[in-house]
Amino acid sequence: MTRLGAVSYLNVRPLVYGLESDPLFTLRYDVPSVCAALLKDEAIDLGMIPSIEALRGGYCLVPDLGIISDGPVASVALFTRMPLDQVQRIGLDTSSRTSAALTRILCLERWNISPDFVPLAPDAAARLDGCDAALLIGDPALFLDHQAAGFQRIDLGAEWTSMTGLPFVWAAWAGRKGAVGEREITALKAARDRGVEHSDAIADDYCGPERAPLGRRYLRENMRYRLGVREIEGLQRYFDLAWRHGVVERSGSAEFFA
């Protein structure tokens, strides 16, 4: 059985729809940074890892599968108390790696600021503890009532697409060469197709009655799960900028399982 490590957020649930009972796989859920660490330690065979970790680790990606936005993503945002040009200290959600790297890139490429960065647990990031702004990802970002908290919300997916004209690949199934073959890849794509078809039911079950309408809109309008030509171009642009600004120690391109 192939050991899968999936992210525990709502946006991943369509990609793993039905896999918990598939005899090809075992499945566990963690935050993105833990998924990356488990894959590095060979505790899982295939992980839904932050896209930046595919470059850092030299992993292969499963073709045509990913967690993608083309415009606003809704679940990755910078929350701030003040205008961006006044921000001097940004807290980075410790659950994140790709979004933390993207925040650094946007500061330099789009916002023209050079703040200090500090790691913050998600609950502290949601309060902006000791910071002018904080990055928050996943369900905590999606469901945070920023207006009630008195924060401005800057959607990182929207910022990236406005800057580049390209989609952003937040995460993808990744592993070492030979970790999966055609049978497993076919099963993962079939799970994606079933999950997208049943996205409303997934949101209802995951979110509960009060949050279900937001969850439904999010899966329908913000999330994309097919890794096509434009998506790969966006991923390569991200890799290139991460290398240019010293966020990663190596340059490279996405590699895929055959």
Percent of the chain surpassing pLDDT 70? 100
Vertex 75: Cα angle to 69 and 79 (nearest 5): 120
DSSP SS3 for 41: coil
Which residues 6+ apart lie within 8 Å of 215 measured at CB?
Answer: 10, 203, 204, 206, 207
Paired residues of 152 in beta bridges? 80
Tens of pLDDT, residue by residue over 49-71, are 999 999 999 999 999 999 999 99
CA pair distance 106, 112, nearest whole angstrom:
8
Percent of the chain surpassing pLDDT 90? 88
Please tell me whether residues 160 and 172 are part of one structural domain: no
Report residue 125's pLDDT band, with 50, 70 and 90 as the boundaries. Answer: confident
Domain boundary among 138, 164, 190: 164
Sign of CA dihedral 224, 51, 172, 31: negative
Number of domains in the chain: 2
Could you tell me the pTM of the whole model?
0.95
151 pLDDT above the threshold of 90: yes
Please tell me whether residues 178 and 239 are part of one structural domain: yes
Domain with residue 210: its CATH number is 3.40.190.10
CA pair distance 78, 238, nearest whole angstrom:
18
pLDDT at 33: 85
Please tell me whether residues 143 and 188 are part of one structural domain: no
Taking only Cα atoms into account, the Rg of the chain, rounded to an integer number of angstroms, comes to 17
* Burial letters 12-43, b for 16+ CB under 10 A, else e: bbbbbbebeebeebebebbbbbbbbbbbeeee
Tens of pLDDT, residue by residue over 68-99, are 999 999 999 999 999 999 999 999 988 888 99
Please tell me whether residues 111 and 59 are part of one structural domain: no
Cβ atoms of 215 and 207 within 8 Å: the answer is yes
